[in-house]
Amino acid sequence: MKHTSSIGRPNRAVMILLILGLSTIIFPLYMTIVIAFKQPSEMTNSIGGILSLPKTWSLDNFREAMRVTDFWHSLRNSLLISVTTIVLSVLVHSLMGYALGRNKAHSKFYSFVYLFIVSGMFVPFAILMMPLAKQTAELHLANWVGVIILYVVFYMPMNIMLYSGYLVNIPIALEEAARVDGASTWICWKE
C-alpha cells in the first residue's frame, strides 16, 4: 500500500482563491494611489485613462484636501481628545477596577455595581446614539469636553472588566506583604 503525503503538493483551488482574494485588495489600492497622485486634467472617462499611471506625480491633491478639510485643526482636536481620554480612563477605571476587583467577592453591593457597569457592554451604541445626542445638546456638552466625557464613560465597562479581572488574579498576600514592609493604600511622602 502506497501512502502519499499532501505536504509539498500545491493545492491549485486554494491558490486560485488566494489570487482572487488578493486582486480584490490590490486593485482598489492601486486605483486609490493612482487617482490620488493624478492631476484633475488627467482623469478621463475612458478606462485606459483611469487605469494609467499619472504623467506627472503631484502632491497637489493632498495639499488641497488638507486645506479644504482644515486637517491640522482636526488633528489637534483628535490628539487632545485621545490623550485626555486615555489619561482619564487609566486613572479612573484602574481605581474603580481595583475597588471592585478586591471587594466583589466579599460584598453583594460591589458585586452588583460590577455587574451593573459591565452590563453596559451589552447595549449597542446605535440604541444610545439618539438620546445621547439630544441630552448632550441640552447640557451644552456638544464640544470636545463632552466628547471626552462620553468616551470615558463608553470605555468604562470593558476597562472595569479587564482591570478587575486582572486584579483578582493578584494574590492578596502580596499586598499584605507590602503593608508589612511599610506600604499603604494611599501614597504618603516621607522626608
Report percent pLDDT > 90 for the chain.
37
Following CA atoms 150, 151, 154, 158 in sequence, which dihedral angle do they give, to the nearest 10 degrees? Answer: -160
Cβ neighbours of residue 81 under 8 Å, at least 6 residues apart? Answer: 144, 147, 148, 151
Q: Would you say residue 1 has pLDDT above 60?
A: no
DSSP line for 49-87: HHHSPPSS---HHHHHHHHHHTHHHHHHHHHHHHHHHHH
According to DSSP, residue 121 is labeled G
According to DSSP, residue 119 is labeled G
At residue 162 the predicted structure's pLDDT band, cuts being 50, 70 and 90, is very high
Hunting for cell 451604541 — which residue is that? 125
Mean pLDDT across 46-65: 83
Q: Would you say residue 48 has pLDDT above 80?
A: no
Residue 111 CA to residue 96 CA, distance in Å, equals 12
Q: Both ends of the chain: CA-CA distance in Å?
A: 84
| Out of 82-91, 107-116, 135-144, 145-154, least confident range | 135-144
Domain coordinates of the chain in residue numbers? 12-68, 70-180
Q: Would you say residue 191 has pLDDT above 50?
A: no
Q: Would you say residue 69 has pLDDT above 50?
A: yes
CB 155 within 8 A of CB 93: yes
At residue 4 the predicted structure's pLDDT band, cuts being 50, 70 and 90, is low
